[in-house]
Structure 1
Amino acid sequence: MGLFEDLSSFLESRLEEFLRNNPHLELQALAEKLREQEEETIRLLADLQRREKSLQDEVLETAQEVQRWHMRIEKAKSVGRLDLAEPAEAREAALLRQGNQLWAQMELVKNRIKQTKDLHLQIQQKRQEVKQKLLEVQAQAAKTAYQPEQRWQTSGWTQSGYNFRDPTDPLEQTFRRWEMDEELEQLKRNMGK
């Protein structure tokens, strides 16, 4: 178990280092996570809207029942049938309570719909920000990738006193990234066996 934990810890640290050295991959992962959240929010919103429609229908149906029982109460009272009027009043009261409960549920669902729409808007804005940042990082990476070639092509032979052990050397950084990518691929292949 210790070996597995050590390997897991090593891989996690290498992955974190890899993501730090390749911010575009971290941004792509974040963009994918935001896309999944947006899809989930859209599904939730559709479910809530269906529930709202169902509750609206139930409220309307209950209101119609209240109206029907109210007319029955009036009719029974007008002909002196208190034996029917009193139970009809009890039924009307029960329907009114039910209608109030349905109305309260519908209001809660409406509030959740509003919150979900707000969340959806926030996710869309965040996705746009991440997309913009990803474009900036990719543009910077393309610019950085182009500059070392140009520098070596134009000034490599004429430069004197160059420090080949400089850690900020673009060629050194490019090779380190490439070697790290190869190591990561080798680790993946070894893990897959």
Structure 2
Amino acid sequence: MGWWDELEASLTAKLDDFLRAHPDLAAEMEQDTLAEQETQTRQLLQQLQGETQTLEQKILATGEQIRLWHERLALAERAGRQDLIHAAKMRQGILMTQGNQYWAELTVAKKRIQQLQALLTQIQSKRQQVQPPTDSSSGYQTPDRVEKEFRNLELEREFEQLKRDMGRK
């Protein structure tokens, strides 16, 4: 194990000890982490929903093209034009393959959306479980709340000093 790994392990252990000693800060940190995860999950959901809409439009457009080439194939068959029959069948086959590919991508995207929605529900549930206690909705801070804020500030400074001290070793 190199010196960097030792330093990282030592800092991690110190942070873990610090957070165990101050569960209110641990809850705030976890709340912040969960809020960030929720934001990222929502953004990914929106992106996938946009991709789903785009794929649905491509499927509809491809279906319309397949219908058009089916009509052209029928026209070529009625006219007895073997060259156009072959070309229309080829084009129709290419469009069918493309449509199947879009359909497969849509299926995967919808499955991922379901997974992300389940993940979002889990994150929101966990956020409610680690919700730190809040004061009254009025803007007034009780003396206990002010005390807590100062304690947090002092603890943050102690933690920063500890990190600086660890960096010197």
TM-score normalised by the shorter chain: which range applies? 0.7 to 0.9
Query: Structure 2: 5+ residue runs without aligned partners?
Result: 136-143, 145-150
Question: Equivalent residue of 1:41, what SS?
Answer: helix
Q: Which moved more, 1:81-90 or 1:32-41?
A: 81-90
What TM-score, normalized by structure 1, do the two folds share? 0.66
Q: Map residues 33-44 of structure 1 onto 2, 5 A cutoff.
A: 33-44=33-44
Counterpart in the other structure of 1:103: 103
1:104: how far off? 0.9
Task: Return the alpha-carbon distance in structure 2 between the equivalents of residues 23 and 115 of structure 1.
Answer: 31
Counterpart in the other structure of 1:94: 94
1:18: how far off? 2.1
Counterpart in the other structure of 2:62: 62
1:29: how far off? 0.8
1:188: how far off? 5.2
Counterpart in the other structure of 1:119: 119
Counterpart in the other structure of 1:163: none
Task: Return the alpha-carbon distance in structure 2 between the equivalents of residues 33 and 103 of structure 1.
Answer: 36
What TM-score, normalized by structure 2, do the two folds share? 0.75
Between structure 1 and structure 2, the one with the greater Rg is 1
Matched, 1:24 2:24: yes
Aligned pair partner of 1:135 in 133, 140, 145: 133
1:90: how far off? 1.6
1:135: how far off? 2.3
Q: Is the 8 A contact 2:11 2:166 kept in 1?
A: no
Question: Equivalent residue of 2:98, what SS?
Answer: helix
Query: Are the structure 2 counterparts of residues 86 and 23 from structure 1 closer, same or farther at C-alpha, using a change threshold of 3 Å?
Result: same
Query: Are the structure 2 counterparts of residues 8 and 99 from structure 1 closer, same or farther at C-alpha, using a change threshold of 3 Å?
Result: closer
Query: Structure 1: 5+ residue runs without aligned partners?
Result: 139-144, 146-176
* TM-superposition CA deviations, 1:152-174 (whole Å, max 9, x none): xxxxxxxxxxxxxxxxxxxxxxx
Q: Could you say which structure has the greater relative contact order, defined with CA pairs below 8 angstroms and 6 or more residues apart?
A: 2
Task: Say what the alpha-carbon RMSD is for the aligned residues.
Answer: 3.1
Task: Return the alpha-carbon distance in structure 1 between the equivalents of residues 29 and 108 of structure 2.
Answer: 34
Q: Is the 8 A contact 2:59 2:99 kept in 1?
A: yes
Task: Return the alpha-carbon distance in structure 2 between the equivalents of residues 5 and 79 of structure 1.
Answer: 78
* TM-superposition CA deviations, 1:8-51 (whole Å, max 9, x none): 66554443222112111111111111011001101110111111
* TM-superposition CA deviations, 1:61-87 (whole Å, max 9, x none): 111110010000111111222221122
Counterpart in the other structure of 2:148: none
1:57: how far off? 1.2
Question: Equivalent residue of 1:135, what SS?
Answer: coil
